[in-house]
Structure 1
Amino acid sequence: MTEVRVPADWPASAEAARAEQDRLRPLVDVTGPGPAAPRLVAGLDVAYAESGDRLAAAVVVLETSGLTVVDAAVAVGRAAFGYVPGLFAFRELPALLDALDRLTAAPELLVCDGHGLAHPRRFGLACHLGVLTGLPAVGVGKTPLVGTWDPPAPRRGSWSDLRDGTDTVGRVLRTRDGVKPVFVSVGHRMSLDNATAQVLALSPNFRLPETTRAADRRCREALAGQLG
């Protein structure tokens, strides 16, 4: 497994990273509608070493008919940017893009372990990946970065709006009866209705989508192998 190389023009300062977000943000398509019945969906996740700045980025492609893995790729390297709130995507993007380039099966939708519009600067990881790849993308966060919400009803499929001021930036979605919800937001080329429907369809048995669960396993295994 080769080491991820960070592009020479990758932002090196918070000021440069924010300027890049400002440049790319207008390119985000928040209406979609996105694929209604995608056959191949990719989950993306990153695992970090307990010490140092080593990381492993995994992309796992699932066939939606049986939620079975049909392709996967992992890239291992170092965080490409410091830890700055609101700029976290810049740490992970080079490795995630490297892993995406290694796939042999082309996904129709990216499901990111992170946020899209539900971000302080309205440009989270799912937005950034969607714009750079041109693929429809959705963010699914375990915890919110921004916003207020009313608790959704306890039954699976219930949701409430995630609001930041006067803006609706996502949905708080219950994927299992009586279990903590997840936070769904549009990344790129998707409507919020479709993003919600796709995340629910990908989460038949657990709180998190099978795409996220598969990518989480793969990147943790890869990181453990690199360090072992």
Structure 2
Amino acid sequence: MVANDFRDQNGMTMRVHRPESWPATAEAAMALQDELRPLVDRTNPRAPEFRTVAGLDSAYDESGVVAAAAVVLDAATLRPLETAVAHGTTDFPYVPGLLAFRELPTSLTVLEKLRTTPDLIVCDSQGLAHPRRFGFACHLGILTGIPTLGVAKSAWGDYTEPAPERGASTDLLIDGEVVGRALRTRTGVKPVFVSIGHRIDLDTACAQVLALTPAYRQPETTRRADRLCRQALLDLPDPHRPV
């Protein structure tokens, strides 16, 4: 595994641990998830003061071209501070539970382009709420060391519908274990599913998601990164030659 240090404009360093190679098969990918799962920190090792928060998202075309986007917001005002995009390719097949192996290589590239080291990364994916308790948000947190959480539009596991008002939540369970929460971010609107990724606790994760959803169901980080990566994919002059 290769560690690349990137010092931001405030002198902080983000260390991206980029593997020298990625699994080529679903079996190898699942084995790696099992190997890395014990490294996930399910607690918050510092006071939960997040000044900057980043969102990540990716878009694809049928040939396997990937466009990834990162958007960094001021956590207090949700004002955009920085954006970046990166392009790559993937030939890893779509397998439920193995999203990370299609998206992570290009996601790491886009993080390396940032001048700002975010205090928190919000992923449009699962974290602990995953069949092997190691979704994309967990994997990204392990590779960057940055607190991460996942906000998904659908759920693995079982839950009861939360009360209709904004802020209501219920536990999300897999095999009887609490792995996340169904969280209502808009009154009367379908909940989102929040789970920790790395170096954050579930209460803090849900509080951050509510702070990022003042007007819409999805966090502002996700909404903006989604628009940016989709546009970046459309902007490629030749979808078979990433730039």
Q: Could you state the TM-score of these two structures normalised by the residue count of structure 2?
A: 0.87
Query: For the residues of structure 1 that align with 2:51 and 2:176, how far apart are their CA atoms?
Result: 35
Q: Deviations for 1:101-136, whole angstroms, at most 9, x for unmatched residues? A: 000011000100001000011000000000010010
SS of residue in 1 equivalent to 2:236 = helix
The 1:35/1:215 distance shift into structure 2, 3 A limit, reads farther
Q: 2 CA distance for matches of 1:8 and 1:67?
A: 35
Give 1:65's aligned residue.
76
Q: Which runs of 5+ in 1 are unaligned?
A: 1-5
Structure 1 range deviating more: 77-86 or 118-127: 77-86
Specify the alignment match of 1:117 in structure 2: 128
Aligned amino acid, residue 26 of structure 1: P
Which residue of structure 1 lines up, in the alignment, with residue 37 of structure 2? 25
Query: Contact 1:30–1:191 at 8 Å: present in 2 too?
Result: yes
The percent identity for this pair of structures is 58
Which residue matches 1:85? Answer: 96
Amino acid at match of 1:31: T
- Tell me, which stretches of 5 or more residues in structure 2 are unaligned? 1-17, 239-243
Distance apart, 1:52 and its partner CA:
1.8
Q: 2:142 aligns with which of 123, 131, 148?
A: 131
- Which residue in the other structure is 1:3 paired with? none
Contact (CA 8 Å) 1:116, 1:124: kept in 2 or not?
yes
Name the residue aligned to 1:56: 67
Q: 2:54 aligns with which of 19, 26, 42?
A: 42
Aligned counterparts of 1:34 and 1:142: Cα–Cα separation in 2:
28
Give, in whole Å, the separation in 1 of the partners of 2:82 and 2:229: 14
Deviation (angstroms), 1:23: 1.6
Report the alpha carbon displacement of residue 227 of structure 1 after superposing the two structures with TM: 4.8
* Distance in 2, Cα, partners of 1:223 & 1:139: 23
Q: 3-state SS of the aligned residue for 1:203? A: coil
Match of 1:151 among 137, 161, 186: 161
Give the 3 Å change call, closer, same or farther, for CA 166–69 of structure 1 in structure 2: same
- 1:205 aligned partner: 215
Q: Aligned Cα RMSD in Å?
A: 1.5
SS in 1 for 2:121: strand
Inter-partner Cα distance in structure 2 for 1:226 and 1:153: 44
Match of 1:12 in 2: 24
Q: How many residues align?
A: 221
Distance 1:36 1:150 in 2: 28
The answer for the alignment partner of 2:188 in structure 1 is 178
Kindly provide the amino acid, as one letter, of the partner of residue 167 in structure 2: G
Partner of 2:85: 74
CA contact (8 A) 1:58 1:218 kept: yes
Residue in 1 aligned with 2:9?
none
Q: What's the counterpart of residue 4 of structure 2?
A: none
> Kindly tell me: are residues 102 and 202 of structure 1, through their superposed partners in 2, closer, same or farther at Cα, counting changes over 3 Å?
same
C-alpha contact (below 8 Å) 1:80/1:92 kept by paired residues: no
The match for 1:163 is 173
Moved over 4 A (4+): none
Higher mean C-alpha deviation, range 148-157 or range 65-74: 65-74
TM-score when normalising by structure 1: 0.93
Tell me the CA shift for residue 33 of structure 1. 5.1
Q: What's the counterpart of residue 107 of structure 1?
A: 118
Amino acid at match of 1:196: C
Tell me the secondary structure at the aligned position of residue 164 of structure 2: coil
